[in-house]
């Protein structure tokens, strides 16, 4: 089907799709919609921003029987924010229908959640923990639901929610249809999938996210300067609509947000230690454009959709380099342009090379006094002077790997090698 009008959808769905301005299905929608319409369990492997939410919402709604007064489908999302986003899209699609829906998320009153279920919804969207709670207490009659969708399955696995899903999936019918959507399929997730899915169709739309048009990938060296001060230089040289600054830990996010606030930069923050009320308030403030900068952990790269992001700043490189793609994917959405700025130290050069191999065309540049300037390409082993090779050999001979290594030794050794090289170069210049 090349256009949405080619499908024989129910009138309320046709109207909703038209209202949303959808004309042609995206590649993931084109593959998944026919499979779900005929009840064939499937794994959809695609990145955020490819239209995967509607690839399951639309066909599931087509199959809901509003004459049956029972639960027919369950959709799980690993975070409250993702569940809310899915439910918001679901409400747009069901606005003129008789399909009853319910949102079940943590951080809300359990009794109120149970009360919502007395109307016997046809379809529920929620977080795994709250769905399990409602199933365990009997408030959610999960045994009648033949459709289960697990969205962002790899993130659900990372966050430890697969056990919750396993607990309530085991109460669902033996002819359960399962639809799993994930950017990656970790090896450790496969036993769970094998337990519930018998020869599923695996739809895989590229292992790498295609580079977004209109993106500028800036690589800014820290060069021994305090990283926070370098970030401040960058911030003073840009005027974003909204910028997300990524750190690797909650502690670093708190510390950096505090530092920026002390410099007069009004900064929001998002990480997993914020309670439900704090996160709801923060998301409202962000959507109301109270902040121009947000410091965040990788929860925001995968778990939260923040509209209007014009800049992404990698204050730290992600520990899992694959997350670089998720981070920069927060900007340049819906045809808009975007900028991804990455701070790096010479000791991180290997990681930068790996990211470049993912297809990222970095532009090596620096900022001073609010002005951007392009730098020479980073040194390559082939083109650098012989003196540099001699220094490398000397460093390798003198600074050896210890017999017993401790956690973090690679980073410490790289820093030690870097200091040695700088000292050697200074001495050579004096000669």
Answer with the residue of higher pLDDT: 406 or 37: 37
pLDDT of 327 reads: 87
The tens digit of pLDDT for each residue in 64-102 reads 999 999 999 999 999 888 899 899 999 999 999 999 999
**Which pLDDT score is estimated for 405?**
56
Confidence of residue 414 (pLDDT cuts 50, 70, 90): confident
| CB contact at 8 A, 259 and 285 | no
pLDDT one-digit tens code per residue, 336-379:
678 999 999 988 999 999 999 888 999 999 998 888 999 887 75
Contact between residue 56 and residue 85 where contact means Cβ atoms under 8 Å apart: no
The region of weakest confidence among 113-117, 320-324, 352-356, 384-388 is 384-388
Cβ contacts of residue 426 below 8 Å, gap of 6+? none
> pLDDT category, 107, cuts 50, 70, 90?
confident
Q: Is the pLDDT confidence value at 246 over 70?
A: yes
Note the pLDDT of residue 402: 63
What are the pLDDT digits (tens) for 25-71? Answer: 999 999 999 999 999 999 998 766 678 899 999 999 999 999 999 99
- Residue 15 host element (H or E): helix 11-20
Q: What is the pLDDT of residues 289-317, one digit of tens each?
A: 899 999 998 876 666 778 789 999 999 99
- Average of per-residue pLDDT across 328-337: 74
The rounded percent of the chain whose pLDDT value lies above 90 is 56
Please state, in angstroms and rounded to a whole number, the distance separating the CA atoms of residues 20 and 15.
Answer: 9
Tell me the backbone φ, ψ of residue 247, rounded to 5 degrees.
-120, 170
Question: What's the pLDDT score for residue 382?
Answer: 44
3-state secondary structure (DSSP) of residue 320: coil
The yes-or-no verdict on residue 384 having pLDDT over 70 is no
Which residue from 14, 22, 31 is spatially nearest to 179, judged by alpha carbons? 31
What is the dihedral sign for C-alpha 168, 172, 174, 177?
A: negative
Domains along the chain with CATH numbers: 4-204 (3.40.50.300), 215-374 (3.40.50.300), 386-430 (no CATH)
Cα 227 to the center of its chain, rounded Å? 24
Q: Three-state SS string across 222-260, please?
A: CCCCCHHHHHHHHHHHCCCCCEEEECCCHHHHHHHHHHH
The rounded radius of gyration (Å) of the Cα atoms in the chain is 25
Percent of the chain past pLDDT 70, that is, above it, reads 86
Of 57, 58, 80, 87, give the one whose Cα is nearest residue 149.
Answer: 57
- Inform me whether the pLDDT recorded for 282 exceeds 60: yes
Confidence of residue 211 (pLDDT cuts 50, 70, 90): low
Tell whether the model's pLDDT for residue 158 goes beyond 90.
Answer: no
Kindly report the average pLDDT of the chain as a whole number. 86
Reference 78, options 21, 128, 147; nearest CA is 128
Confidence of residue 383 (pLDDT cuts 50, 70, 90): very low
- What are the residues facing 244 on neighbouring strands? 294, 312
- The closest of 122, 117, 114, 74 to 98, measured between CA atoms, is 122
Would you place residue 322 in the very low, low, confident or very high pLDDT band (cuts 50, 70, 90)?
confident
For the segment 389-405, the average pLDDT, to the nearest whole number, is 63
Report in angstroms the alpha-carbon separations of 317 from 245, 324, 346, 430. 11, 7, 12, 35
pLDDT at 388 over 70: no
Interval 320-347 mean pLDDT: 83
Confidence of residue 381 (pLDDT cuts 50, 70, 90): very low
pLDDT at residue 228 is higher than 90 = yes
In angstroms, rounded to a whole number, what is the distance separating the alpha carbons of residues 329 and 309? 10
Residue 139: pLDDT over 70 = yes
């Amino acid at each position: 089907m090349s256009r949405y009008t080619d499908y024989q959808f129910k009138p309320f769905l046709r109207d909703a799709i038209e209202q949303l301005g959808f004309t042609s299905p995206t590649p993931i929608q084109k593959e998944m919609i026919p499979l779900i319409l005929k009840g064939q369990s499937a794994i959809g492997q695609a990145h955020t921003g490819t239209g995967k939410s509607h690839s399951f919402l639309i066909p599931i709604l087509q199959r809901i029987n509003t004459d049956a007064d029972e639960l027919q489908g369950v959709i799980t999302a690993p975070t409250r924010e993702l569940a809310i986003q899915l439910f918001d899209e679901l409400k747009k699609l069901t606005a003129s229908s008789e399909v009853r829906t319910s949102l079940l998320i943590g951080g809300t009153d359990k009794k109120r959640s149970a009360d919502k279920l007395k109307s016997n919804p046809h379809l529920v969207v929620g977080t795994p923990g709250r769905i399990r709670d409602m199933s365990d207490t009997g408030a959610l009659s999960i045994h009648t639901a033949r459709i289960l969708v697990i969205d962002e399955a790899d993130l659900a696995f990372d966050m430890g929610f697969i056990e919750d899903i396993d607990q309530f999936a085991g109460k669902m019918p033996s002819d359960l249809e399962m639809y799993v959507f994930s950017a990656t399929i970790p090896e450790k997730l496969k036993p769970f999938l094998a337990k519930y899915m018998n020869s599923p169709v695996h739809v895989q739309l590229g292992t790498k996210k295609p580079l977004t048009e209109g993106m500028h990938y800036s690589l800014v060296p820290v060069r021994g300067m305090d990283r926070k001060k370098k970030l401040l230089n960058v911030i003073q040289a840009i005027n974003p609509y909204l910028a997300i600054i990524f750190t690797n830990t909650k502690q670093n996010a708190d510390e950096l947000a505090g530092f920026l606030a002390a410099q007069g930069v009004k900064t929001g923050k998002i990480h997993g230690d914020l309670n439900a009320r704090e996160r709801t308030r923060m998301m409202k403030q962000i959507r109301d454009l109270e902040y121009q900068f947000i410091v965040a952990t990788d929860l925001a790269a995968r778990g939260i959709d923040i509209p209007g992001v014009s800049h992404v700043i990698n204050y730290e490189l992600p520990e899992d380099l694959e997350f670089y793609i998720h981070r920069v994917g927060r900007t340049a959405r819906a045809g808009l342009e975007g900028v991804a700025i990455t701070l790096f130290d010479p000791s991180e050069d290997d990681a930068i090379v790996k990211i470049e191999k993912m297809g990222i065309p970095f532009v090596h540049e620096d900022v001073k006094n609010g002005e951007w300037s392009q730098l020479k390409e980073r040194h390559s082993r082939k083109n650098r002077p012989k003196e540099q090779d001699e220094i490398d050999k000397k460093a390798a001979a003198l600074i050896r790997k210890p017999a017993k290594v401790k956690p973090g030794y690679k980073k410490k050794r790289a820093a030690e090698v870097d200091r040695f090289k700088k000292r050697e170069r200074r001495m050579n210049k004096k000669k």
